[in-house]
């Protein structure tokens, strides 16, 4: 059993704390929000993540997982301290490191014995050295410490599974002994461990997310070409995916990526490139394609319905992806804001993200279920691919709509099946319909 402190209890911090405690370690998680800590002590989660509530409650009851606002309590017995605070985008796309600085300074002022400080947050290349300098400069008295980069590779909605079954663990440090100790901490996960220097480890994280975002933008661009040529992008992607050099993951055409990672990380990497005089042509194109894809969905709707003014439009899903309540950079925001600005009535249904969505879009008319949403609508747009949407009674949906217009921005449904039911249907890159029109 190791003694671990985790700073920050957002997606990354809470997952890190809960999963390490579930491996038999003692973990004290620190957060500056008194309300968040008080709720966690009652097993009230600050995020929606499948299985998280049960995992946290089980390990609290086993006296392995604790929550506090006190750095002194968190660091008292700790050998490892994970920095898992937010790094939002700044004005020019750079990562805002104010919370990382605050954590590093407070750790430096509070520590009473040697520590291994682990950057888990996604941070710009060079941050490990920067954190090391902050700790050195802030310590009241010199105490040994080492800084290790251990970037996270967690998907929202699958964070627990991703933590327990990683493709790899990446570690970077100038102190090999410290890196080896952090490697030992991860051995129970039985995944390949890559040990490198600080800056390379930090770059691996950015390069990985940028590449995955590139795959999404690539298949969305191919989808637009498919619409012009009459090919079906789902079959194109399937055919591509059998090639082991390509793989089938992240080749699902749709409304584009969102969330807390891809938009922020691609933008931050492009910013780093620009600062150092390197023109990030590919990264710029990835971001432009992603932004345009949201507008492409809106154009599809307008091609079918004409002006949206005075129309009632229903959004099936609001969160940026299924199995989360995260609205950060959600494509639904772009779509809903456009519709609202053009004087449409915007209705929506999401199984878990309604509360967060209303904070950003108070004009939304929220529904209790998809059928209530569809009632009286002139069109529906599938925005988030929740599993429950795949099994809807589409005849019932059709019958309660004012106009049976369906824009499937996630390609959940088969075009011919929807047309057979009487829907005017448009997906993303699904070839031609019987009249030679793009689907």
Ramachandran angles phi, psi of 145, nearest 5°: -160, 165
User: What is the rounded CA–CA span in Å between residue 256 and residue 324?
Assistant: 16
**Catalytic residue list contains 261:** yes
- Which stretches does DSSP call E strand in 260-412? 312-316, 345-349, 365-366, 379-382, 405-408
How many CB atoms are closer than 10 A to CB 311? 21
Q: Which residues fall within 8 angstroms of residue 100, CB to CB, at 6 or more apart?
A: 83, 85, 87, 119, 121, 123, 127, 131
**80-83 β-sheet, strand order:** 65-68, 26-30, 3-7, 80-83, 115-119, 145-149, 169-172, 193-196
| Residue in 150, 226, 261, 377 annotated catalytic | 261
Side-chain half-sphere CA neighbours of 93 within 13 A? 16
133: which 2 tokens?
């300098």
User: What is the rounded CA–CA span in Å between residue 433 and residue 422?
Assistant: 13
Contact criterion met (CB below 8 Å) for 424 and 304: yes
* Element holding 238 (H helix, E strand): helix 233-241
Q: Which residues fall within 8 angstroms of residue 184, CB to CB, at 6 or more apart?
A: none
Q: Which residues fall within 8 angstroms of residue 275, CB to CB, at 6 or more apart?
A: none
9: which 2 tokens?
């209890």
Q: Which residues are catalytic?
A: 261
């Amino acid at each position: 059993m190791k003694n671990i402190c985790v700073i920050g209890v957002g997606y990354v911090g809470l997952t890190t704390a809960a999963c390490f405690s579930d491996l038999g370690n003692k973990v004290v998680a620190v957060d500056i929000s008194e309300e968040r800590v008080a709720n966690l002590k009652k097993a009230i989660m600050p995020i929606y993540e499948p299985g998280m509530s049960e995992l946290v409650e089980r390990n609290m009851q086993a006296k392995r997982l604790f929550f506090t606002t006190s750095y002194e309590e968190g660091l008292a017995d700790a050998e490892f301290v994970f920095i898992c605070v937010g790094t939002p985008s700044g004005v020019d796309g750079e990562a805002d490191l104010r919370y990382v600085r605050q954590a590093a300074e407070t750790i430096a002022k509070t520590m009473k014995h040697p520590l291994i400080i682990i950057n888990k947050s996604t941070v710009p290349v060079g941050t490990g050295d920067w954190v090391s300098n902050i700790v050195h400069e802030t310590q009241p008295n010199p105490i040994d410490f080492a800084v290790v980069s251990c970037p996270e590779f967690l998907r929202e909605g699958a964070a627990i599974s991703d933590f327990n079954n990683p493709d790899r663990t990446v570690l970077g440090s100038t102190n090999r002994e410290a890196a080896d100790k952090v490697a030992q901490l991860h051995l129970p996960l039985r995944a390949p461990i890559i040990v490198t220097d600080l800056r390379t480890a930090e770059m691996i994280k950015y390069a990985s997310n940028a590449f995955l975002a590139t795959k999404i933008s690539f298949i969305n661009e191919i989808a637009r070409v498919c619409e012009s040529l009459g090919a079906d992008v789902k079959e194109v992607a399937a055919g591509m995916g059998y090639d082991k050099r390509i793989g089938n993951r992240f080749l699902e055409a749709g409304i584009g990526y969102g969330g807390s990672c891809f938009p922020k990380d691609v933008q931050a990497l492009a910013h780093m490139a620009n600062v150092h005089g390197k023109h990030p042509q590919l990264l710029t194109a990835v971001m432009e394609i992603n932004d345009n894809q949201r507008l492409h969905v809106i154009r599809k709707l307008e091609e079918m319905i004409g002006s949206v003014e005075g129309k009632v439009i229903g959004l099936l899903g609001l969160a940026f992806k299924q199995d989360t309540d995260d609205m950060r950079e959600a494509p639904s925001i772009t779509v809903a804001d456009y519709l609202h600005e053009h004087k449409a009535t915007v209705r929506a249904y999401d199984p878990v993200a309604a509360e967060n969505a209303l904070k950003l879009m108070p004009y939304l008319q929220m529904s209790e279920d998809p059928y209530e949403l569809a009632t009286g609508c002139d069109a529906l747009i599938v925005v988030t691919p929740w599993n429950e949407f795949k099994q809807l009674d589409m005849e019932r949906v059709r019958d309660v709509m004012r106009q049976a217009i369906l824009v499937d921005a996630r390609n959940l449904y088969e075009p011919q099946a929807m047309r057979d039911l009487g829907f005017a249907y448009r997906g993303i890159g699904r070839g031609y319909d019987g009249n030679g029109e793009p689907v």
